[in-house]
Structure 1
């Protein structure tokens, strides 16, 4: 009888030990599974907002954009799925778009009035609220990597111009000749805009230019961005741009301004913006969305809509944002005619969108 009691006690101890063990995290430190499953992972990207209409888009060009957006989504999601942090996922997605001439970032950056490509980028970690940004750089192949190095390898947040380029070289990043960024389509765009400034075009001429070159109206827009949440519930945001076509005087937009075009905080959300940068700076758009969530308890969708669809509209500011919170909820509002955008929450199932009438299924 005593032996049976001992054996029974031993079984109870084993059961208790097993139950406790199930509550521990695995080697990747995954959160404890809830009734609805494990911590969700998600990635959201954008490739710029502006006057993007079906009548201005050939089937071939639309296909190219959707394929590149899908490639960026799949590449970033692969990082999340393998247990990499959100920071790595957003950088990976951004680099895919920086390497494509389809977007106004990296290889496809627009030209300044002086015929140069000057790029800006920023990245932010929602867990620590550490951030890095660069502006006016011309030789770093992937500007987002320079922003990342500023964040992790320096005591600073923001570097510009030659100093930022020198720092990037010291971090052994890929340095290229400025000619690497030259894209003839973008250069012709600059020439057309400069010519347009010299003459007073009538309405029919302007319409003709829009149909021939859908980028004409969007010379103040164009950016790529990514936000993500990883298996630990940490969020991150990254944004990269070639800035404004025909810009002068060292103009810098909202992208590298932490809180304006880029922001991340685990307590609220991660945001990347695209649009007319001056308005996004004046409204501190990315931080404003996070603040509304923090102080009013509104959802990420409601907070993003309030800023993009109301505050910006009231100031006649055009553009959009992408955002994600730690629970994998996402938002992609924009008040322009279109925005290249997409999200992925499951392997092999990227969702891409361009126009304002597409059902996003959110």
Structure 2
């Protein structure tokens, strides 16, 4: 019988307010809400260097992914189902650096990473260095639901996939000529991964369903020319992915080494949770709770945005760049990125449905901290 507004007032710490007060507020609660946000990478993007045709391709791909997830939520499906439905078409689309179209390692292979987390119980699954699984996000979720572990790597993850019935996808499915050329330019000109990749094409999705549950997922091919079994933030729970019904669901994209050092995903969600706990201590009881709940929901969005921006500023201070998407228990779908652009989209039960690429293109408050 939970809904998103009920969770917004109580999920932080139900024990901090009398349970009968929340029950009273629930009786006159509004209809349940849902919300979803997606990303397809962030980086140094310039409107001048993108043709109208190329832009239309990306916008169509983002809208397809966004619509797939939103449809599930609108029909009463779970956040976990929605984020996977949104991520799979991006994993299959060579425009993004995940699944098909993943970048090449120094040795000329496509190694795939993914993670997923359920905000209801903070169960999580992750895989890294897989090479034969078409949709790594599905394998990450299978690790979450059908293994005693959270994180599997390489051959072990591949063996687990085979034992759970995943088909072996040939290497040629993932490889694209554009990504191969990026590796060749990098080697020929002694360039860095940042020189050949003007954006981080990692994909991700976060969602709130009508039961008030949050979920997050992230999938990537890593960085061009990565060596020595390098692992970025995307498969690292707490760095690139995190979900907790008490605070937020978050997925990151960017220079993974810095997101790991800051612990971006959990850092933001933890700050949001603490803020909610502090306010729950002062929540009124009885009929006054409903109006308090609405006022809190309206004021907390700006606070949540500022926290996300602050953490992304920390990433920049250390030398990293990228961005994040997050959804809160109140249904706010937010962005923050310290780059010139991030491929992104969001949709809510309130009627918002938009995709964007460069900074300042959103109708909402998707912030771009100082570059």
Gaps of 5+ in 1: 1-23, 200-213
Alignment pair present for 1:285 and 2:264: yes
Residue 260 of structure 1: how far off its partner (Å): 0.3
Shift in CA distance, 34/62, structure 1 to aligned 2, threshold 3 Å? farther
What count of residue pairs does the alignment treat as equivalent? 320
Residue 34 of structure 1: how far off its partner (Å): 7.1
Q: Describe the superposition over 1:13-66 as per-residue Cα deviations: whole angstroms up to 9, x where unpaired.
A: xxxxxxxxxxx789xxx9997767312101100000001111111111100000
Which residue pairs with 2:297 in the alignment? none
Shift in CA distance, 34/354, structure 1 to aligned 2, threshold 3 Å? farther
1-structure distance, mates of 2:215, 2:104: 29
Note the 1:96-107 alignment, pairs <5 A. Answer: 96-107=89-100
Q: Give yes or no for contact 1:48–1:224 (8 Å, CA) kept in 2.
A: yes
1-structure distance, mates of 2:128, 2:205: 18
Q: Give yes or no for contact 2:241–2:252 (8 Å, CA) kept in 1.
A: yes
Residue 222 of structure 1: how far off its partner (Å): 2.4
Alignment pair present for 1:129 and 2:133: no
Q: CA RMSD in A?
A: 2.2
Residue 217 of structure 1: how far off its partner (Å): 4.2
| Corresponding residue to 1:118 among 111, 120, 128 | 111
1-structure distance, mates of 2:145, 2:256: 26
Shift in CA distance, 358/136, structure 1 to aligned 2, threshold 3 Å? same
2-structure distance, mates of 1:275, 1:330: 19
Note the 1:222-261 alignment, pairs <5 A. Answer: 222-261=201-240
2-structure distance, mates of 1:215, 1:174: 35
Secondary structure of 2:82 counterpart: helix
Shift in CA distance, 215/224, structure 1 to aligned 2, threshold 3 Å? farther
Residue 359 of structure 1: how far off its partner (Å): 3.0
Which residue pairs with 1:341 in the alignment? 344
Q: Give yes or no for contact 2:74–2:349 (8 Å, CA) kept in 1.
A: no
Q: Describe the superposition over 1:180-227 as per-residue Cα deviations: whole angstroms up to 9, x where unpaired.
A: 10101111111111112079xxxxxxxxxxxxxx982437x3200000
1-structure distance, mates of 2:327, 2:191: 44
2-structure distance, mates of 1:125, 1:321: 18
Q: Give yes or no for contact 2:218–2:241 (8 Å, CA) kept in 1.
A: yes
Shift in CA distance, 278/80, structure 1 to aligned 2, threshold 3 Å? same
Residue 331 of structure 1: how far off its partner (Å): 1.4
Q: Greater CA radius of gyration, 1 or 2?
A: 1
TM score, norm. by length of structure 1 = 0.84
1-structure distance, mates of 2:348, 2:71: 11
Q: Give yes or no for contact 1:145–1:173 (8 Å, CA) kept in 2.
A: no
Q: Give yes or no for contact 1:110–1:243 (8 Å, CA) kept in 2.
A: yes
| Corresponding residue to 1:306 among 283, 291, 310 | 310
Which residue pairs with 2:35 in the alignment? 42
Secondary structure of 2:38 counterpart: strand
Which residue pairs with 2:196 in the alignment? 216
Residue 349 of structure 1: how far off its partner (Å): 5.8
TM score, norm. by length of structure 2 = 0.82
